Structure 1
Amino acid sequence: MNHLNHVIGNVIAASARLGLGYAERMLTDVRPDQFARFATADGQVVESNHPCFILGHLSLYPERVVTELGKDASAIRPSETFNKVFSKDAKCVDDVDGTLYPSMDEVVAAFRSGYEKAIETVEQAVDDSFLVENPNEAMRAKFPSMASAHAFYLGGHIMLHMGQFSAWRRMMGLGPA
């Protein structure tokens, strides 16, 4: 493989790996019974995204990256439940009884497998595949090329939500990861 033909994908993959590693650290000491719960600070519930919603939401995007690069994403396709409860239009809710969201194991597995497949896919993609117009019309004004869209989905988007996860950890008394 000519590495000069895979520069863009390797740049994107480097950011994605950093985000995936950060997410793994964020999961340290998070218990299943608190995974889908709002944090509390000084006895007050803070209505901010919890880890379940964060990782579930992020797990929706690797399929898009893999599919747009012409590869088979069937193994990481989000379920209807994931699409419903974790979409960009869904509202994060406090799952007091543990019945509203998929389990921690299921969400974490979907997140991990999706990003591992997306990283593998961008690394294997030739630069020309990133230099085409973003097929997502709604996002094209912000991210005109496939490269800019996938750099966001596998870089900035992850880190934006990791900031939420980090704040949740601190409010929950888990400290930095």
Structure 2
Amino acid sequence: MSSKAKLMPNITGITIADSLRLVLGYAENLLKDVTPETFGRFATGVNGNPIDSNHPAFIYGHLSIYGHRILKDLGKPVDDLPPGFEENFAKGCVCRDDIDGTLPDMKTVTAYFFKIWNEALDVVLASDDETFQQPNPLGGGFTERFPTLGSVHNFYACGHNMLHLGQMSAWRRMMGLGAA
């Protein structure tokens, strides 16, 4: 172990936080020029038909659930998810074109996304490496791939977020908004 590592009791948290800051900046940039009216809508193709691809409401709502999970896993008391999040954005939910505006609105979803992920950033930075070495409690194949809290939270904060933010980037282009 290097002398620097001995002085830093939270290398894992610092590593996760460095990438999470980049994620949060990118997530904010991707919202440029997105309107509340298009936030929950599928993009349309050249033939005018909706393109069945995740839209911003689903992306930001879905990702919020994982910031919430990090807080719970690291022992931070958190309120329940906002109304409509679990039934519309949880793992296994299908993104649907929100023609009637029944999904949680843009302000609610984005405010919660940034609130919960900034809280997760603070808690990740305050957690020590011993905490991150605890076993991933999910079990099964997910724990085989990500055996510790540190590895699974690194995935949630970085890889999982960027995967879905890549969908957001594609949605922007389909909507004619260009790169962010």
Give the structure 1 partner of residue 135 of structure 2: 133
Give the structure 2 partner of residue 96 of structure 1: 99
* In the alignment, structure 1 residue 68 sits paired with structure 2 residue 70: no
1:79-129 CA distances to partner (integer Å, 9 max, x unpaired)? Answer: 352111101111100011212x01100000110101000000000101110
Identity of aligned residues (%): 46
Aligned residues: 173
The CA deviation at 1:73 is 2.1
* 2:158 aligned residue (143, 155, 171): 155
Give the structure 1 partner of residue 33 of structure 2: 29
Give the structure 1 partner of residue 149 of structure 2: 146
- The TM-score normalised by the length of structure 2 is 0.92
- The TM-score normalised by the length of structure 1 is 0.94
1:9-55 CA distances to partner (integer Å, 9 max, x unpaired)? Answer: 01001111111111100000000000000001212321000000000
* In the alignment, structure 1 residue 164 sits paired with structure 2 residue 167: yes
Give the structure 2 partner of residue 86 of structure 1: 89
Runs (4+) off by over 3 Å: none
What do you get for the CA RMSD once the two structures are aligned?
Answer: 1.3
The CA deviation at 1:3 is 5.8
Q: Which segments of 5 or more consecutive residues in structure 2 lack a partner in the other structure?
A: 1-5
The CA deviation at 1:66 is 1.2
SS of the equivalent of 1:94 reads: coil
Give the structure 2 partner of residue 7 of structure 1: 11
Q: Which segments of 5 or more consecutive residues in structure 1 lack a partner in the other structure?
A: none
